[in-house]
Amino acid sequence: MSSEVLWAKLYPKEWRERFQAAPIVYLPLGLCEPHGQIAVFGLDLIKAEYICEKAARGAGGIVAPSLGYHIHESGYHARWLEEQIGEENPRMTGMPPHVMLYFFLYQLRAFVNAGFKAIVVLSGHGGGNQADFQRAAGIFMAQFPVRIWVGTDGDLVKGHFKADHAGQFEISQLMNIDPTLVNMGRTQLEGEPNSGAKFARADNAFEASEMLGASINEACITRLRQVAEDLLVQARDISTDSITYDEIEHLWRALQKSKSEWVTSRPREGQKSVSQSSQWKRHEYPYTY
């Protein structure tokens, strides 16, 4: 069987062989957003892809094309952006909740229609967004016989390592995956004196190390392999049928009814309001129109 795990790089014969051995698909989710001046924008996506590919080589299955867009700006993100970015341009690939969740349901449909019985969705961007994807996955599983796990790399190692944003945890991960994507000497964007030193970098970022990153990433990979193996056992006797557009539209209407409860549709309880003058104020409550 081919050692290649990426759907986009598999020939039909190789795809069929991997599928027959383990009918599970992995979907890496990420985002381009600031991780300080010291790290590349795509950290979230890069680590999700890396962990999924390594897990698929161990547990079997196929890694779906990545999605480098994610929910941002809305709800609790707005205050975070005001505090971490201010009025600068964060140059990120953020999307509104309803756009991402609607598309996500159709991604799940594509996987089931390809024949997969189990789906792993690993988000490199956390903070609470995963709860909305879990809600969508729950509605999907209630209607169709497929097993889905949705979580973040932080979820995979909870209780062992403390996840963060552009801090010791994440920067260590990226150092281990590709040290050329981290530059600890860069604290301000050259030619832009107002770019700021932090640009969403955590204070403990300089405590990161490649060795710590290796431990974190290996723990993530080991746990995700276990998740995949468990899903395959649960899905052993599942038989899937083709899903229509109309069926997904029905699920979408059901999911929309809970819009006010989406984690990404409102600030966190007790979170300070965004300043009226901030560029992020307009997205604090995205569904008031």
pLDDT score of 166 more than 80: yes
pLDDT at 193: 46
Confidence of residue 194 (pLDDT cuts 50, 70, 90): very low
Q: Tell me, yes or no, whether 9 lies in a domain.
A: no
Q: What is the pLDDT of residues 68-114, one digit of tens each?
A: 999 999 999 999 999 999 999 999 999 999 999 999 999 999 999 99
The structure's pTM equals 0.95
What residues contact residue 8 under an 8 Å CB cut-off, 6+ apart? 65
Question: At 198, is the pLDDT very low, low, confident or very high (cuts 50, 70, 90)?
Answer: confident
Would you say residue 6 lies in a domain? no
Tell me the β-bridge partners of 148.
119
144-162: per-residue pLDDT in tens? Answer: 999 999 999 999 999 999 9
Is 111 in contact with 235 (CB distance < 8 Å)? no
Calpha distance 76→171 (Å, rounded) = 23
The pLDDT, as a whole number, for residue 2 is 82
pLDDT tens digits, residue range 207-223?
999 999 999 999 999 99
160 within some domain? yes
Tell me whether residue 86 is in a domain. Answer: yes
Domain annotation covers residue 11: no
pLDDT score of 188 more than 80: no
Strand order in the sheet with 118-123: 62-63, 24-29, 118-123, 147-152
Is there a contact between 117 and 238 (Cβ–Cβ < 8 Å)? yes
User: What distance in Å separates the CA atoms of residue 26 and residue 139, rounded to the nearest whole number?
Assistant: 19
State residue 259's pLDDT score.
Answer: 95
Are 176 and 214 in contact, with CB atoms under 8 Å apart?
Answer: yes
Residue 251, pLDDT above cutoff 80:
yes
What CATH number does residue 139 fall under? 3.40.50.10310
- Mean pLDDT over residues 134-142, rounded? 98
Q: Is 204 among the domain residues?
A: yes
Give 23's pLDDT tier (boundaries 50, 70, 90).
very high
The per-residue pLDDT for 1 is 75
Q: Residue 82 domain-assigned?
A: yes
- How many domains would you assign to the chain? 1
Q: Which domain holds residue 221?
A: 24-283
The answer as to whether 16 is a domain residue is no
